[in-house]
Amino acid sequence: MSVSAEFVIVGAGSGGSALAYRLVEAGRDVVVIEHGGSDAGPFIQMPGALSYPMNMGIYDWGFQSEPEEHLGGRRLATPRGKVLGGSSSINGMVYVRGHARDFDHWEESGATGWGYADVLPYYKRMEHWHGGEETEWRGRSGPLHVTRGPRANPLFDAFVAAGKAAGYPVTEDYNGQQQEGFGPMEATIYKGRRWSAANAYLRPALKTGKLRIVRGLARRVVFEGKKAVGVEIKRKGQIEVVRATSEVVLAASSINTPKLLMLSGVGPAEHLREHGVEVLADRPGVGANLQDHLEIYMQFAAKQPVTLFKYWNLYGKARVGAQWLFTKGGLGASNQFESCAFIRSDAGIDYPDIQYHFLPIAVRYDGKAAAEGHGFQAHVGPMRSKSRGHVRLSSSDPEAKPEIKFNYMSHPDDWAEFRKCVRLTREIFAQGPMAAHVKHEIQPGAAVETDEQIDAFIREHAESAYHPCGTAKMGAADDPSAVVDPEGRVIGVEGLRVADSSVFPRITNGNLNAPSIMVGEKMADHLLGRAPLARENLEPWVAPNWQVAQR
C-alpha cells in the first residue's frame, strides 16, 4: 500500500509534532513517520514517574556515547524518545525557553531571522502559560500548557532564599524578562499529566483527519536528481516509500537526523564514501558541532525528615501512584523540579552560564541509589561548553546505531567552569536558609577541595543532562559548516528541510524541549511560505553591573 502526502515529516517528537500541527491547521495534508509506539500508560503520563520511561527500551532508542576520553573512558547514556511525542514523552518536563542572548548569538552566527525579537512571538504562540499575571512576555492561548509546581516542600523556598542570602537576584519568571536569578521552575505538566508534544500537538492534529501517522523505521530520504521526493521506510518487515508531493522534513532528533542525512548522501563526502554511500551533497557540517550540557549532582544529607525519601520504598511509591491514578494529584503530579536558578559564574559574563535544578531527594536520574536516607540535591552545570563532538555513521545499515562522540570536557575552560559550579554551590548551601537543613555534604563530600580533587570527581561523576543538539547547524547558505539555511532548507539539495534541535547553531541556556518546539513552530511558517510573525522588541533584563561583578 503506497502512502503519499503533501508534506512528509520524519519524527513525531517536539519539532515534528509542532510542525505537523501548524501545517494541518493551514489545511495541508501531512504524514508523520514514527518508529516508536504509543505513549499511553502511567509511566509516561505520570510526571512523578519520569525516571522510568527514559530507561525503558520500548520508549528509548538506547544510544550511548563512544568512550569519552576526558571522562575516564566512560560511555554516557544518550536517551532519545522512540515513542509518540519523542523525547518530550520521556524527558524531565522542565520548560526553559533559553536566554534572549542565545538567540541573538544564533542570528550573529548566520541564522538570520532567529534573533530573540524573531523567536519571542513563536514562544508566545505556542504557550498556554498558567504562571501568573498577564504579561507581554508570555502566551496565554497556545496548545502547550506550562505550569508551576505547588512548591509545598519547604526545601524549595529554602533554596531560593539561600540564593538571595548569597547575594543573587530572585526572578519571578526566568522565561520572561529576567532569566538570571533564583525562582520557581516551570514544567510541561497540565492537570497532573505530562503535557508532551503528543498531547499538545499530535492528538489535536489527528482529530482533523489531515494528519496520518505511519509507523516504520525511516531508512533514507529518496531523491530524484537533487530533489527529495519521499522517505524509504521499513514497515512490518517490508521496504516501502512514503512519497511527498511538496517537501520532506527531518525532525528525527539531533542524533537520527544527521544519521538520515548521511544515509541519504548528504554529509562529509569522504566519510560517506568510506561507508559506500553515494555523495549527493558534500556538507561537512552534517553530524559535526554536537553539543550537550553536562551536570553533576551536589548531594546533601538532610537534618529533618522533610525530603521525598519517605516515599522511596515500595509502599510509598504505590501510595503516590494510586493517588495519581485516581485523582491526577499528589506528588505523582509533579516532576519534583519546582525551584531553579540561573547565575553567572564570573564578572565580565553578561548572562547566566550556570543552571541549577533543585530536587528534594538525593537520587540519580535513573532512579537508582537513593543516597543515605533523607537528603536533597542540586543538579548544576555550565551552559556554554566550548567542547564539540560529532555523530557519524557506524555502518551504511540503517538499523545500525550511529557513532556518537561528544568530546565532553575536551576544552580547558570546561574544567574551570565546573570547579566554579562546585564552589559556588557550596557557598549557596552554606547560607542560613539552607544551612538549617544541611547535615553534611554527601557528594562530592567535604574532603573534595582542591582543583585536582574536584576534577577527579567530575571525571568520574559528571552526567549528561540529555540536551544533545547542533548536528545540522543553521547558518548562511555560503557557510561551509552550515547544513540548513535560515528557513530550514538543506543546503545543496531541494525539497528537504530540518526542524529539530539539530539546527541549533549553539546550545541554548537550560533544557532544550521548549526551543525544539519553537523551531517546529517557526519552520511551519517557512514551509507555508508565510511572512514570519512580527518581531517583538522587548528589552530583556541584563545585570547592570555584569562587567564588574559576578552577582
The C-alpha atoms of residue 62 and residue 52 are separated, in whole angstroms, by 13
- Cell 559576578, located at residue: 550
Cα dihedral: 290, 519, 240, 7 (round 10):
-150
Which fold would CATH assign to domain 3-527? FAD/NAD(P)-binding domain (3.50.50)
Grid cell digits, residue 493: 539539495
- Bridge-based pairing state of the strands 375-382 and 294-302: antiparallel
pLDDT number for residue 59: 97
DSSP string, 488-515: -BBTTSBSEEE-SGGG-SSPPSS-SHHH
Q: Which of 363, 387, 359 is nearest to 373 (CA)?
A: 363
3-state secondary structure of 134: coil
Cβ contact 7:214 at 8 Å: no
SS3 track for 453-468:
HHHHHHHHHCEECCCC
- Cell 540503517, located at residue: 398
Q: Judge whether 467 counts as a catalytic residue.
A: yes
pLDDT number for residue 51: 87
H helices then E strands: how many in the chain?
14, 25
pLDDT number for residue 1: 63
- Cell 541573538, located at residue: 104
CB-hemisphere CA count at 13 Å for 152?
8
Q: Which of 360, 463, 366 is nearest to 149 (CA)?
A: 360
Q: Show me where the domains of the chain are located.
A: 3-527
- The enclosing H or E element of 33 equals strand 30-34
Rg (CA), the chain: 22
The C-alpha atoms of residue 479 and residue 467 are separated, in whole angstroms, by 25
Q: What is the pLDDT along the chain (551 residues), one digit of tens a residue?
A: 689 999 999 999 999 999 999 999 999 999 999 999 999 988 999 999 998 998 899 999 999 999 999 999 999 999 999 999 999 999 999 999 999 999 999 999 999 999 999 999 999 999 999 998 899 999 999 999 999 999 999 999 999 999 999 999 999 999 999 999 999 999 999 999 999 999 999 999 999 999 999 999 999 999 999 999 999 999 999 999 999 999 999 999 999 999 999 999 999 999 999 999 999 999 999 999 999 999 999 999 999 999 999 998 889 999 999 999 999 999 999 999 999 999 999 999 999 999 999 999 998 766 665 557 899 999 999 999 999 999 999 999 999 999 999 999 999 999 999 999 999 999 999 999 999 999 999 999 999 999 999 999 999 999 999 999 999 999 999 999 999 999 999 999 999 999 999 999 999 999 999 999 999 999 999 999 999 999 999 999 999 999 999 99
The C-alpha atoms of residue 261 and residue 219 are separated, in whole angstroms, by 10
Cis peptide bond prior to 480, omega within 30° of 0: no
pTM summary value: 0.98
The active-site residue, picked from 293, 357, 374, 467, is: 467
Chain centroid to CA 356: how far?
15
The C-alpha atoms of residue 501 and residue 508 are separated, in whole angstroms, by 10
- Cell 554516557, located at residue: 76
Q: Which of 514, 547, 546 is nearest to 122 (CA)?
A: 514
The C-alpha atoms of residue 400 and residue 403 are separated, in whole angstroms, by 9
The C-alpha atoms of residue 233 and residue 398 are separated, in whole angstroms, by 10
**What are the φ/ψ torsions at residue 120 (nearest 5 degrees)?**
-55, -45
Cα dihedral: 419, 425, 431, 436 (round 10):
-130
Q: Which of 24, 17, 36, 4 is nearest to 230 (CA)?
A: 4
Grid cell digits, residue 135: 504579561
pLDDT number for residue 360: 96
pLDDT number for residue 378: 97
pLDDT number for residue 365: 61
Those residues whose C-beta lies under 8 Å from the C-beta of residue 315, and which sit 6 or more positions away, are none
Q: Which of 188, 216, 159 is nearest to 14 (CA)?
A: 188
Q: Which of 190, 80, 202 is nearest to 146 (CA)?
A: 190
- The enclosing H or E element of 392 equals strand 390-392
